[in-house]
Structure formats: structure tokens, C-alpha cells
Amino acid sequence: MSDREAVAHLLRRATFGPTADEVDAAERAGPAATVDRLLTQPATDRGAAATPTPTLPPDPYAELTKDSTREQRQQANAERRKQLQRVTEWWLNRMVAAEDGLTEKLLFFWHGHWATSAQKVKSARLMVGQLETLRRHGRGPLGPLVAAMVRDPALIVWLDGQKNTRKAPNENLARELMELFTLGIGAYSEADVKAGARALTGWVVDRRTGVARFEPKRHDPGEKNILGQSGRFDAEAYAGLLTAQPAAATFVAGRLWFRYAGPETPAPEGLAGADTIATVRAILSAPAFAQTRGTLVKQPVEWLVGALRQLGIRPSALPEQQRKQLLAGLNALDQVPLRPPSVGGWPAGSAWLTTSSLQARLRTAGVLAAATAPSVLARLTAAPTAGRPDALARLLVVDAWSGRTRAALTPLAGEPRKLLAAGLVSPEYTVS
Amino acid sequence: MDTVTRRRFLLTSGVVGAGALAAGAGAYSLRDLLDTSGDRDPQSRTLVLVTLYGGNDGLNTVIPYADPAYRAARPELAYPDGEVRRLDDDFGLNPALAGLHQRWSGGGLAIVRGVGYPKPDRSHFRSMDIWHTAQPDRPGNTGWLGRWLDRAGGDPRLAVSFEPALPPLLAGAQSAGAAVPVTDRKAAKGLPAATLTAFAAAEAGESAARGRAAACFADLRSVDEMIRQVRDSADPDTADPDSEQAPATATGGARTPLDAQLDLVAQCVEAGVSTRVFSVSLGGFDTHADEKQLQAVLLGQLDRALTGFADRMSRTEAGRKVVVAVYSEFGRRVRANASDGTDHGTASDVLLLGAGVRGGWHGAPPSLTDLDDGDLKYTTDFRDVYATLLERVLDTDPGPVLADWRGRVEKLF
């Protein structure tokens, strides 16, 4: 693998999709320095600063009372949907604009890991609050992250934590916390689930203020035996107990590997570091990681955000019609940010490669090609017709076209927007 | 409640390798199925397996309304005597199951009670793996019907799913069933047909995922044709005039409703295709909170879809050879939680209807008081049900498929 191929591979996986200029710069720096630069958070990020987290008005539901009319409720519902739409659009813009691509992609990883959906949470403020928690702790050690998440209002609502009381424990959160978020199946027993649910009792979410609050009367203060240890564990102590298990770091490292290297290659031993950034460093530096080039099916959000960056499109600058088409595309591709399909998160690999997803990619690629910035299109048309497939590969950061794809692209060289659309749906671009 | 379906996550559970998925997913169109019309022995039966994802609450499906322990364990969640659709003096069906209740009265519904497996696992994903693989000790990477397919010659068209991704139960060691895509008819616009054709070519030496991405272009070309085919092949005289739903065109591949899936099954059966096994599913049963109403909505969908399908099947010779089996990965706790829901439990009911199925009760009802850590003790091993279906519906010796499992559900057929 050449240095250019090596850094392009790093950037494609660690961020949402690099531009050709970013690959040029990384090639000059070399692979080792590129890993360092990716992992170091810049002091300032102009892209992030230009796309600040929206300040939302209070949850419209907070205004409702028992006496509210049906119309008032409908209006509150409509307002809630509008707020969620606004947050979804903001997040897409942020993903495209941010200079610190690694941190943005990592945030999306954590979102899929904790897999909390607005479909049930419904409040945009709670969803934004969870993203902020994930952003605050996402690069650091696992302990503080899990301790913050067991008190996260959106997660509590999503997994019925507010309904988990001393009198009648609800095991939903306790089980998924161990099975999907920290330990993985097989590393705990059914008794641990039951005891864990008792430790988590007492947390409720005030839907008016959107704040999670501990109500001692609902908490079970008794002795619990969890994972071989006894104590009067509460939520925080339980979280600490989980993240102290060696299985937790290994499990989470495996999940990171699954997303960054792909489901095809087993995770090598010893990836887990002291914090998440150290683990990501171990993944990007692993020899097996380099060998996964050309095997990872891009998730729809990765595919779209990468294309938006490479084609110079800022979704916020598009007319409403096109913004809607892009979101409709993600919906048809079955991956809308803030709406994971289940607590198990989004699927991976070949699951994204179906005929119906290809239809959605074709439609969305057409929208993207039509919205491509003239300056970007000019780079393509600056090349002589015969050289345009190669210019396209450079633009989309594809290492090389196969003979098959070159044969498909060549007849379109005279129609640059169609050429772009074809590049976006090609197997080489879809699978990175 | 988790209003979402858990099914999609099965893809990441690792039961099915990407290879098997790639072999099945989208590689066949309905035309390929319809091309097999007439290939089958007209005497052979067809199995339609309905998977309810999320863990359907069995105790509020087939309700032990006369047992005081039922009401005591879940006072808010229990159905009062008057609402239950009575089956006998002890049990009744959920009020939403009107059609199935009628079928029971006519002797056309069999209920196998307390179906489960030893050392129950309460993870959705693991328990579903167990039901898919029929290997409770250690779920492997083949499904029970996939292993049947391996032995039946391996033609993917023998075992078909209309779900967007291949369910693990149809993945064998050497072969895999076909996931036939059901997508909307919006044709791909913008790129010339020649481009799409060129993309469909396989490229030597590329990764499996890229190969699959290219194969999607080949599949796509047949999809539009496929939907038209199935519409045209539907004989207007046999189509159900009372069906609430327009046939088959789903709003999106991943969200195909159960009745639309069964509608496609019905059309295939009527066309006499070679398929012996169809897998369909309904998700959303993970009712940890506010369960009663949500479950009733889902059971209502199930009831309408099943009875509509069964009625339609009863009208043709081929349809009268179809057996339907309905199951979920586990039941739910006997006792309600504080949220008017139930947490993951163990044994539950399997419902069967169709050709030769002997209606009525099968297996013993689990006790509501003699519990295993708050959960029902299973009385019938799920492999008994599988073995009986293999033997009586698919005319196969269950031994090689189910690791020499000996148990059967007596007198089910």
C-alpha cells in the first residue's frame, strides 16, 4: 500500500470522508503523523464553531396540563416534531462542517452504541442533552461515560428507567446496560440483571424540565450481589462496578473495531486502552486494520456526509426541497440520525446492500450531483474527457476503479453530473 | 415499549455469516420463484413460519383467566373474565384475536402450550438465535431450516423470506434461502440502463462486500418486473375481495407489514411455486411498559393477517396444503413490572393452523405458581415442535437437522 493509499484509508475510516485536499495534506505528513493529528483535538474548530448546537425552547409538552385541549396537544406534538427535525438537520450540518472529523465520527459511533431513539424519547432537548454527554465523555475513559449515561434522561426514558422502582423493578435498562453497552452477552447472569435493576431504581425524569432526578423513596437501598460483589449499590456504584470489569473495555473495543475496521475481520487482542482515544489509536495502528481496506460497507450516514463534504455541499445552504430530499434519502436507506432502529443499534455490512437501498442511493446520488458546487464540478471538467474517471476517483477519494466500474463510468465522461452520480453509487465508493 | 423491531439486529448477532447473507439476500426475484411453477409434487405441503420479534407475552395471548394466580401476579395487566374470548372454562384468547377464536371454534387452531427450552436465555438476541438455530446449548451459525435446505438440495427457492434481510433460520452450511425483496416501484432515474448493467458485472479479486454491491445492480433490474409479475399473476377471482389492504406494495423494504408478506406468500402458493418454506415476521412485541394496549394492537394485526391468509388458502387446492406456525423468542414474566409491562420471560405458546393440523390443546399448561425464578417452566421442548413440522410438513427425517432429537408433539397432525 502506498503512503497515499494508507492515509486515505485512515481518513476514510476515522472521519466521515476526507476531501482530496485533506488527503494531499495527510500524504505530505505521512501515515504516523496523520494518526497523531487525527487523534489530537484541535484547539479551535471553525467548522464546529459555525454550526453551534441549537438552543431549543422548552419542551412544548411542558406547557400541557390535564385540561389541555386536543388541539393544544396536537400542536405540541407538531412542535416537538419540528424541534427534532431541526436538531437532525443541525447534526448533519455539523458532521459536514467540523474540522475535527474524528471526534464527530466518534460521537456518531457512541450514538449508535447507546442507540437511543427519538421515536420514543420524543423530546429534542433530551436528545441534544444525550449527545452533549456523549461528546463530553466520548474520548475519555469508560467509567465516567457509563456513570453519566445511567443518569442520562434520554436513556432513562428510552429504556423505561423512570418506571423502575423498589416495589416492582423494570429490568430493561439493567439488562441492556450489561448486554449491549458494557459487557456483552455471557459476561453476567440473570441474577445480575435482577440485582442491577434494583441498583438503578429511583431515577426519574422530570418531563417539564428535562432533568433526571433521584427519588430516594423509589430506590431500593438494600444489599445487592452483582457480578460476585456485595454492597448497597446505587446507579453510580453499579456503573463503576461494570466498567471495572476487564470484559467492559474489551467489549467496547470490539464494538469500536466492528465499526471502524468492519465485521469481517476479528478484532485483534489487546486493543483496549485506558480511554477511548487510546483504543481508537490501537485500532488505527493495528496491522489487521490496514488489511481491511476495501471491505467495509459505508453506513448510509457515512456515505451521505462524506459525499456532501467531497462535493462541497453545505446542507444548510440548500433550498428546503433539496434538504428534504436528502433526509428522505437517509430515511429510505434506513439510517436517520437520532432514530436507531432498536436498542441493538444499526446493522452493518451486507445488510446495507439490498436492492431497495440501491434504489435509494441512486435517487440520493442524483440529488447530490445536482447540488454539487460549481467549483467542484469545474475540477472534474478541467480534466480532458478521457481523464475524467480518474479525476472523479481523486475527488471521491477512491484509490482506484476496477475495470468493471471504469467501463461503467467512461461513457458518462461527457456528462459530469451523471458521472458524479455514477461514482457515488459505484461498488468502490459504497464499500470503503 | 420498544416500538421498534429487533429483527434487524439479528444481522449483527453473528449467527449468519456475511457469505450466507450474500448468497440469499436479494439474489432472487419473484420471477425466479414463479418460474418454478409446476415443479413441485402437488401432494407436498408448505410451511409458513411466522416469527413475532420482541418476545410476545404468552400469558396475555392465551389467557389462563380462571387461575387466581394470573390476576394476582399482574392485577393491572390482567384481562377481566368478561373481556377474554373463552376457549374453555380455564383459558381464553386475547380480545384482539377474534378471527383466531372463530377458527378455534371450528377446530382449526392448535395451541401448543409452555413451549421453551432448558436454561432459558432472556436476551432477545441470544434467545432468538436459539430459536433460529435450534441449538440451545451453543447457537451455531446455521438455522434449522437452513440445515433442512442443505439436505433438500440447496436450491434457495425452496426456502423464501419476504423480509428485507435473510433471517438466520434460513441459513444453512452450504446453502441459504432466498430473501426476495419487496420494494416500492419508484424506478431508478437519472442513470442510463447501460450504466446500471455495467455496474452489475462481477470483478475478479474484489472483496465480498464489493461483489455484493455489484450484484445489487443485477437484482435491481428484476425488481420492478417482479412487482409487476406478482400483480399480474394474482388471479382476481381468488384474491380476497374483503382485504383491507391493497396487495403487496410495501412502503419500504424494511417495513413490510405482515399482511403484505402473507399476501405474497399466498400468490406464490396459488401459482404452485416450488417453495416449501416461507418465513415471515412481525416485530414490536418488546412490551416492557404500557403493554396491554400495545400488545392488543399487534395481536390485532396478527389476527387479521393470519385469518385473511387462512381464509384465502382454504379456497384453493394448493392453499389447503399450507401449515402456518406462529412463535416468539420467549414469553414474558408472569408478574407485571411497575410500568404496566412485563420483563423478558421464558416459555410461551406456539400457534398452528392449516393443513391437517389437529385443533385444540397440545402439551401441558405451565403452572403459574410453581415457577423457575419468577418464570414459567416449559413443558414442551421447542425442538419437539420443529421435529414434528419437519416430519409431517416437510416430509423429512428430523434426525440430521436437529442433532437426533427424539421428541415430537403427539397428535398434532
Domain residue extents for chain A? 141-244, 246-290, 297-430
Q: Name residue A90's amino acid.
A: W
* Euclidean distance between CA atoms A86 and B412, whole angstroms: 56
Predicted local confidence at residue B256, as pLDDT:
63
Which of A215-229, B31-45, B135-149 holds the top average pLDDT? A215-229
> ipTM of the assembly?
0.92
DSSP state of B168: G
CATH number for B364: 3.40.720
Q: Is residue B84 part of a domain?
A: yes
Which grid coordinates belong to A171?
429490568
CA atoms within 13 A on the CB side of B305: 26
A114 pLDDT exceeds 50?
yes
Which grid coordinates belong to A235?
446507579
Which grid coordinates belong to B127?
434467545
B7 pLDDT exceeds 80?
no
Residues of A in contact with B254 (CB under 8 A): 334, 341, 356
Q: Name residue A113's amino acid.
A: H
Predicted local confidence at residue B249, as pLDDT:
23
Q: For A342, which of B8, B201, B206 is closest by C-beta distance?
A: B8
Percent of all residues in chain A with a pLDDT value above 90, rounded to a whole number: 83
Closest CA to B93 of B355, B326, B252: B326
Average pLDDT rounded to a whole number, residues A54-81: 88
Residue pair B117/B133 in contact (Cβ under 8 Å)? The answer is no
> What are residue A351's phi and psi, to 5 degrees?
-55, -30
Count Cβ–Cβ pairs < 8 Å, chain A vs chain B: 223
Residue pair B93/B341 in contact (Cβ under 8 Å)? The answer is no
Among the residue ranges A341-350, B209-218, B238-247, the one predicted with the least confidence is B238-247
Chain A: residue nearest B214 by CA? A427
Residue pair B277/B325 in contact (Cβ under 8 Å)? The answer is no
Predicted local confidence at residue A353, as pLDDT:
82
pLDDT confidence bin for B231, thresholds 50/70/90: very low
B55 to A160, A367, B35: CA distances (angstroms): 17, 41, 37
Closest CA to B168 of B346, B326, B397, B12: B12
Residue pair A61/A205 in contact (Cβ under 8 Å)? The answer is no
Closest CA to A396 of A329, A295, A312, A333: A312
The distance of A48 to chain B (nearest Cα, Å) reads: 32
Predicted local confidence at residue A289, as pLDDT:
98
Average pLDDT rounded to a whole number, residues B258-265: 88
Residue pair A17/A310 in contact (Cβ under 8 Å)? The answer is yes
pLDDT confidence bin for A94, thresholds 50/70/90: very high
pLDDT confidence bin for B173, thresholds 50/70/90: confident
B98 pLDDT exceeds 90?
yes
Say if pTM beats, i.e. exceeds, 0.95.
no
Cell 378471527 belongs to B99
Residues of A in contact with B21 (CB under 8 A): 349-351
Contact A170 B26 (CB under 8 A): no
H or E element in which residue B361 lies? strand B360-362
Chain A: residue nearest B11 by CA? A347
Contact B123 A185 (CB under 8 A): yes
Interface of A with B in 230-269 (CB under 8 A): 258, 263-264
> Which of B29, B74, B137, B199 should we substitute to test contact with A (largest number of A Cβ atoms within 10 Å)?
B199
Which grid coordinates belong to B118?
432448558
Angle at B25 between CA B24 and CA B28, to 5 degrees: 70
pLDDT confidence bin for B373, thresholds 50/70/90: confident
Residue A38, C-beta contacts closer than 8 angstroms, at least 6 positions apart: A10, A11, A14, A15, A101, A102, A284
Which grid coordinates belong to B320?
389447503
The distance of B68 to chain A (nearest Cα, Å) reads: 20
Q: Does A351 touch chain B (CB under 8 A)?
A: yes
Percent of all residues in chain B with a pLDDT value above 90, rounded to a whole number: 39
Residues of A in contact with B139 (CB under 8 A): none
Contact B190 A362 (CB under 8 A): yes
Does residue A56 sit in helix, strand or coil? coil
Q: For A418, which of B190, B211, B217 is closest by C-beta distance?
A: B190
Predicted local confidence at residue B45, as pLDDT:
95
Predicted local confidence at residue B19, as pLDDT:
42
Containing domain of residue B379, as a range? 7-392
pLDDT confidence bin for B329, thresholds 50/70/90: confident
A418 pLDDT exceeds 90?
yes
Give the number of domains in chain B: 1
Residue pair B246/B261 in contact (Cβ under 8 Å)? The answer is no
* Euclidean distance between CA atoms B169 and A39, whole angstroms: 42
Closest CA to B382 of B356, B358, B413, B348: B348
The distance of B210 to chain A (nearest Cα, Å) reads: 5
* Euclidean distance between CA atoms B125 and A51, whole angstroms: 38
pLDDT tens profile B100-143: 999 999 999 999 999 998 888 777 777 888 898 999 887 777 88
User: Quick count: other Cβ atoms within 10 Å of Cβ B355?
Assistant: 18
Q: Is residue B325 part of a domain?
A: yes
Residues of A in contact with B211 (CB under 8 A): 427
The distance of B71 to chain A (nearest Cα, Å) reads: 16
Residues of B in contact with A329 (CB under 8 A): none
Among the residue ranges A150-159, B17-26, B257-266, the one predicted with the least confidence is B17-26
Predicted local confidence at residue B165, as pLDDT:
65
